[in-house]
Amino acid sequence: MWELTDRAKRYQEDLLAFMDEHVYPAEPVYWAEMAASGDPHHYPSVVEELKTEAKKRGLWNLFHPHPEWGPGLTNLEYAPLAEIMGRSLHIAPEATNCNAPDTGNMEVLTLFGTEEHKEKWLKPLLAGEIASSFAMTEPAVGSSDASNIELRMERDGDEYVLNGRKWWTSNALHKNCRVLIVMGKTDPDAPRHRRQSMMVVPLDTPGITVLRSLPLFGYQDREGHGELLFENVRVPATALLAGEGDGFMIGQARLGPGRIHHCMRSIGAAERALDLMIDRAQARVTFGEPLANRANIQDWIAEARVEIEMARLLTLKTAYLMDTVGNRAARVEIAAIKVAVPQMALKVIDRAIQVHGAGGLSNDFPLADMYAQQRTLRFADGPDEVHKRTLAHMELRRRDPQWGRTA
């Protein structure tokens, strides 16, 4: 009980060795290659080398729950692996083909794709040959309420015609990105949760323009957060995932794993920030003694340890519930970690920055970038406030099953 399976332990050891032997040493190479390219969306060759190495070591598609496509780990087995990857967020997940949003897209294609989708898109994704993107959020509407989604998908004979605008379409500027999964509205008059559909759309389909990549704080992420314009984009009716009106249902199925993977990686990021905080506190001397000797810095270290551990346990329990009772039954816990984990990570990283002095805000340390990454997670897949609302409604109904039913 509370212990990893032997299999998970073995993967953990292998992954730790891969990190020490390959990923951490690759970090300076990666950043040097990025800087030399002068292109924020450059695809560094070192990533490709790491992918080859990871595949060789069997550290590939670890995320995928279906045994025909990977080792078929449970969420609980995968969690500590994703955490380790989160320590080097720009490299390790991609090197092991466990990167968002590809992971979620692969799951969706596995569950809802046609044979053609699987052959054409899923296989190269699983092989790490291409990348993909997920076009959901829209600039004009509060997308945390999915029923607001407005991109129009109109049937025209054997085709659908897509018109609208998306943003925060992450990965769209990845050099390997070839395909989008797009959420849009097929039937404005259907019941609220049957209006939307999802489709598989090649990125080079005529009518799609990548207008720009949105920066996060000042960072222009390599994979890009695209703003995309859809103007009379024509796709065959076979582009549809599952059936018309199933968009909301697929979205729900997709979100659970996506959210927990984010949280697992955030815990790894927090652990790395804590390590950096400790090392700097031990090395830096002011007023005659190392910062590590000061009780306020010690309090920060202690609080970080406690808060990381609590967040980790909640995430592991959520993984366990997803494995045993299913994503839907675990939705309270999924909402809970979505609220708790990024805020915890931000607090730890911010204090690590403070211990580093102004250097902590520069790129001489990974902390400011980590802060920016974690801050976005308070919006990704819905802002904190929407998840708290969900949690509160569940609690209110726990005490009064009729609460809010008529409101």
**Residue position matching structure tokens 């005529």:** 206
Query: With contact defined as beta carbons under 8 Å apart, do 362 and 350 qualify?
Result: no
Question: Does residue 295 bind a second copy (CB under 8 A)?
Answer: yes
Question: Does residue 361 bind a second copy (CB under 8 A)?
Answer: yes
Query: With contact defined as beta carbons under 8 Å apart, do 215 and 231 qualify?
Result: no
Tell me the sheet residues that pair with 160: 155, 235
Q: Which stretch binds a second copy (CB under 8 A): 26-34, 100-108, 128-136, 275-283?
A: 275-283
Question: Does residue 39 bind a second copy (CB under 8 A)?
Answer: no
Strands 131-135 and 177-185: parallel
Question: Does residue 42 bind a second copy (CB under 8 A)?
Answer: no
Question: Does residue 317 bind a second copy (CB under 8 A)?
Answer: yes
In degrees and rounded to multiples of 5, residue 285 shows phi and psi of: -110, 130
Taking CB under 8 A as the criterion, the residue among 24, 48, 72, 144 binding a second copy is 144
Question: Does residue 395 bind a second copy (CB under 8 A)?
Answer: yes
Q: What part of residues 146-175 is at the interface with a second copy (CB under 8 A)?
A: 148, 167-168
Residue 250: other Cβ atoms inside 10 A? 19
Question: Does residue 231 bind a second copy (CB under 8 A)?
Answer: no
Q: Which stretch binds a second copy (CB under 8 A): 100-108, 189-197, 251-259, 334-342?
A: 334-342
CA distance 74 to 125: 20
Taking CB under 8 A as the criterion, the residue among 127, 211, 306, 325 binding a second copy is 306
Question: Does residue 273 bind a second copy (CB under 8 A)?
Answer: no
**E strand or H helix at 139:** none
Nearer to a second copy, 130 or 386 (CB): 386
Full 3-state SS string of 155-215? EECCEEEEEEEEEEEECCCCCCEEEEEEEEECCCCCCHHHCEEEEEEECCCCCEEEEEECC
Question: Does residue 391 bind a second copy (CB under 8 A)?
Answer: yes
CA distance 371 to 303: 18
What's the closest the beta carbon of residue 174 comes to a second copy, in angstroms?
18
Question: Does residue 196 bind a second copy (CB under 8 A)?
Answer: no
Nearer to a second copy, 130 or 214 (CB): 214
Taking CB under 8 A as the criterion, the residue among 339, 345, 349, 352 binding a second copy is 339
What's the closest the beta carbon of residue 216 comes to a second copy, in angstroms?
5
Taking CB under 8 A as the criterion, the residue among 24, 219, 242, 249 binding a second copy is 219
Which class for 286: exposed (0-12), middle (13-18), buried (19 or more C-beta within 10 A)?
A: exposed
Nearer to a second copy, 122 or 277 (CB): 277
**Helical residues (DSSP H) of 64-121, grouped into ranges:** 75-86, 92-95, 102-112, 115-117
Q: Which residues contact 272 (CB under 8 A, 6 or more apart)?
A: 86, 87, 88, 366, 370
Nearer to a second copy, 41 or 305 (CB): 305
Taking CB under 8 A as the criterion, the residue among 215, 236, 243, 326 binding a second copy is 215
